[in-house]
Structure 1
């Protein structure tokens, strides 16, 4: 294995949680998540020679992974018209154990009702990205990121209320 391959594998291993989270946000079945995970890693590998280090690796990784997820998600929607409220999603809270897992499940289930761009906005927000970083990752202005994120949070809250997921 050459140094480029080793470097790539080390970085992917260090930041694989990002890929898992994106896969979970966009796909609700275990098999679909695994397929998306593999597709993201493949696209990261193909794009790795273009990474010049002008930004943090994770910033570049978010951009490639989210773009891959958006394209993959659109392909999946064209293949099968599935209900966005099937089993297998999750939510983040400061709760403990089973309660935290239940809340996490409600969040991810509600997120499935968002469109692909809204999912990316929420994902980056949950990753503690600033409005500027969100804008950079999605290729939009900072003001646009702020407005769209606010609207998406409101929409997500409405979905949570509509489905009786309130805590």
Structure 2
């Protein structure tokens, strides 16, 4: 019989396996680089703390995403209370003037991320999990909804984002 992994062992496994995904998640939730670093640190601390209660009833991946998204959602709520802006003047001033292909791709990605930032927190969470390659069943497990609801909602969110991206409009979610 194998001994149960310790809190530290579980954290090390999660950080090694999902560190890049957690970094992308923090980037998707927070545009400000300093706030993003703080959010990522909060996610790692929260994840380490959470492993004292991890009982293995769900996959490690599901646990990691659930904890990370809960912390990121709380961060967004706190930031909204502070009325912080998504894009600061420093970010705008740092943008290059050159319009080459790489810059255009980066600008499109930043524009898409800004649109994702505008989604309601649960829609944003679902979208980010989808962008991380999770299927509807896994997203449903993380968020506590049915896979069918996830698939329907993802389809609607993709349509909303496409309309906003191409038309610049902001429609009711």
Q: What TM-score bracket applies, with the shorter chain setting the length? A: 0.7 to 0.9
Conserved 8 A contact 2:7-2:48: no
Q: How high is the TM-score relative to the length of structure 1?
A: 0.80
Alignment of 1:48-67 (within 5 A): 48-67=51-70
Q: How high is the TM-score relative to the length of structure 2?
A: 0.78
Is 1:150 the equivalent of 2:155? yes
Give the RMSD, CA atoms, in angstroms: 2.4
Conserved 8 A contact 1:85-1:113: no
Which of 109, 116, 134 is the equivalent residue of 1:111?
116
Aligned residues: 155
Conserved 8 A contact 2:112-2:165: yes
Is 1:102 the equivalent of 2:107? yes
Partners of 1:148 and 1:21 lie apart in 2 by 22
Which of 32, 35, 46 is the equivalent residue of 2:35?
32
Aligned to 1:133: 138
Partners of 2:8 and 2:146 lie apart in 1 by 34
Aligned to 1:18: 21
Is 1:82 the equivalent of 2:87? no
Structure 1 unaligned blocks of 5 or more = 89-95
Conserved 8 A contact 1:25-1:112: yes
Aligned to 1:159: 164
Aligned to 2:47: 44
Instruction: Decide which structure has the larger Cα Rg and report it.
Output: 2
How far apart are residue 32 of structure 1 and its match? 1.0
Aligned to 2:98: none
- Structure 1 window deviating more from structure 2 (126-135 vs 102-111): it is 102-111
How far apart are residue 52 of structure 1 and its match? 2.3
- Structure 1 window deviating more from structure 2 (68-77 vs 99-108): it is 99-108
